[in-house]
Amino acid sequence: MIKSLELMNDGYTWMVDIDLEKVFDTVNHDKLMRLISDTIKDGDVISLIRKFLVSGVMMDDEYKESVIGTPQGGDLSPLLSNIMLNELDQELEARGLNFVRYADDCLILVKSEKAANRGMKNMTKYLEETLGLKVNVMKSKVERPSRIKFLGFGFFWDKSADQFKAKPH
């Protein structure tokens, strides 16, 4: 929250609010395992993670193997999703974009509406084509800070302090 306020008060007053659709349900196992294998070299650990991913679910008294996504409620699911979304962080940094992200909630802060629209287009393409994640185009938006809610907070311009502030929403 502090970083986003600092950026807004430095003139980054256009926001790209990217909403990922069911990120836990849409993580591509093969892409995720490639990312994990780049860091972890222990075959037993890799095998355990793969088994966790395909562990499946019971639906209507029938076992269904998981072919995509991370298991709902699984202890490793948030970590594995963040490994995938770390690729988004790396891409945003490589492009020199200012952003804040917590889990699958991501804001990109830029100085113009044109840059925001370009960021939305490029990051949607990256997320969908490179990472295989789905952007919810109905919920994603380019807006000014006062129209954005992030992690339960709204932003507003405090005239007396001459700066942006956040308040619980």
What range does the domain containing 12 cover?
Answer: 1-22+75-149
> Mean of the pLDDT values across residues 38-62?
88
- Tell whether the model's pLDDT for residue 55 goes beyond 90: no
Quote the pLDDT of residue 71: 81
In a domain, 92, yes or no: yes
pLDDT tens digit string along 71-103? Answer: 877 888 899 999 999 999 999 999 999 999 999
In a domain, 165, yes or no: no
Number of separate domains in the chain: 1
- Tell whether the model's pLDDT for residue 145 goes beyond 90: yes
Q: Say which CATH number the domain at 4 has.
A: 3.30.70.270
In a domain, 64, yes or no: no
CB 132 within 8 A of CB 31: yes
Over the chain, what is the mean pLDDT? 93
Tokens of 117: 């629209």
Smallest CA-to-CA distance from 50 within 63, 25, 64, 31 is with 31
pTM: 0.89
Instruction: From residue 88, give the alpha-carbon distance in Å to each of 46, 75, 105, 127, 130.
Output: 22, 22, 12, 7, 10
> Mean of the pLDDT values across residues 48-67?
82
In a domain, 12, yes or no: yes
CB 26 within 8 A of CB 68: yes
In a domain, 117, yes or no: yes
Terminal C-alpha separation, the chain: 13
- Tell whether the model's pLDDT for residue 131 goes beyond 80: yes
- Tell whether the model's pLDDT for residue 114 goes beyond 90: yes
The rounded distance, in Å, linking the Cα atoms of 75 and 138 is 30
Rounded-to-10 torsion of CA 26, 138, 107, 25: -10
In a domain, 3, yes or no: yes
Q: What are phi and psi for residue 144, nearest 5 degrees?
A: -80, 160
Tokens of 91: 């891409």
In a domain, 56, yes or no: no
Confidence band, pLDDT 50/70/90 cuts, at residue 113: very high
CB 24 within 8 A of CB 134: no
